[in-house]
Structure 1
Amino acid sequence: MTAFVAVVGALSLVNLLLCIGIVRRLREHTDILNTKLGDNGPAPMYAAGQRIGDFQATTVDGAAVSRDALTGTTLLGAFTPGCTPCKERLPLFIEQAAQRDRDQVLAIVSGTVDDAADYVARLSAVARVVREEDGGPVTTAFGVEGFPAFALIDTDGVVLASGTKLGALAMPVPA
């Protein structure tokens, strides 16, 4: 009986060590997915050169916004609550947006009213904010398929640059 208990104890210890190894490996893979793969994956929205679709929406302030109402170069940010990269990149977007005219910054918050409240409150000071349910008409018009999504849009509704990081929006310097 003592030998049986010793064998079961040894097997349990080996099992515990294997479980710890698996958990450690899963954490490494999570980090890889959150940092590397997300930045090298497919574009989260329309790519440079594509024209956004027509849309009409009302901002949380009650103002009308549409593709035809975009003036100058518009900075776009699309966010959804519960998205870790969205939460991490929101402060930098707010900082960048604060350096622009509020009318040339558009933020889309995709989610329920309750879930989106914090994002809407933080973005309203620096951007025109549209809050809509998942898969709403504005995110569809911009071709948003992942969050966060950032873009620069010209007056004609053509995407100048887009990506999951604001650094992807750096405009090329003419030679």
Structure 2
Amino acid sequence: MSYLTAAVVLVGLLGVVNLLLSFGVLRRLRRHSELLSARQTEQGPLMLAAGQTVPAVTATAIDGRPVAPAEFPGQTLVGFFSPGCTACHERLPSFLSYAGELADPAKVLAVIVGTGADVAALESELAAVARVVREPADGTLTAAFAVRGFPSFLLVEPGGMVLASGLAMSELPVHATA
């Protein structure tokens, strides 16, 4: 009988220890969640927001022609892509579709940020519907548009004012066809 009592007490103590450890783990997870969310808000936006103006800069497209946001011919779709970015490849079809609806490559700018073998494949897909600029991570356009996340999509007015921006094409206004 004493063995049975000792076993029940031991199982009860193990249950209490397990419960205390679980509460400790939950408290630590909550603290980490708070730290992560605070860190994300400290970093700020991942690109220029609507209403902001792109600084006056000039870059060179792969065809050798200059590209300047202040001289965009009309409302221009701008997309920033990185070759090793999974989300970039997932959202590329929606960018190509939106760009195709504009039916004017002069009103679409695709910026490929980075180097590597994947750049050529991405470049050939985008060149069909857009002017393409290839630049390093600290490139002129990446800095001017304050891009810190990929993919980034912006709709820019003539003169360089950002009309809308987002990490998905669904965050931009729907293009109205005439």
Length-normalised TM-score, structure 1: 0.71
Further displaced range: 109-118 or 119-128? 109-118
Contact 1:43 1:162 in 2 (8 A): no
TM-aligned CA deviation for residue 135 of structure 1: 1.5
Contact 2:80 2:111 in 1 (8 A): yes
TM-aligned CA deviation for residue 154 of structure 1: 0.2
Verify: 1:136 aligned to 2:139, yes or no: yes
1:100-134 deviation line (CA, Å, top 9, x unaligned): 11100001000115341111110001000000011
Identity of aligned residues (%): 45
Partner SS, residue 117 of structure 2: helix
Verify: 1:149 aligned to 2:149, yes or no: no
Structure 2 counterparts to residues 18-167 of structure 1, below 5 A = 43-100=45-102, 101-112=104-115, 114-167=117-170
Task: Work out the CA distance in 1 between the residues paired with 2:168 and 2:70.
Answer: 26
Contact 1:59 1:65 in 2 (8 A): yes
Task: Work out the CA distance in 2 between the residues paired with 1:159 and 1:68.
Answer: 11
Where in structure 1 are there 5+ consecutive unaligned residues? 1-36
Partner SS, residue 98 of structure 1: helix
Contact 2:71 2:160 in 1 (8 A): no
Where in structure 2 are there 5+ consecutive unaligned residues? 1-36
Question: Runs of 4 or more off by more than 3 Å in structure 1?
Answer: 40-43
Higher-Rg member (1/2) = 2
Counterpart residue type for residue 120 of structure 2: A
Tell me how large the CA RMSD over aligned residues is: 1.8
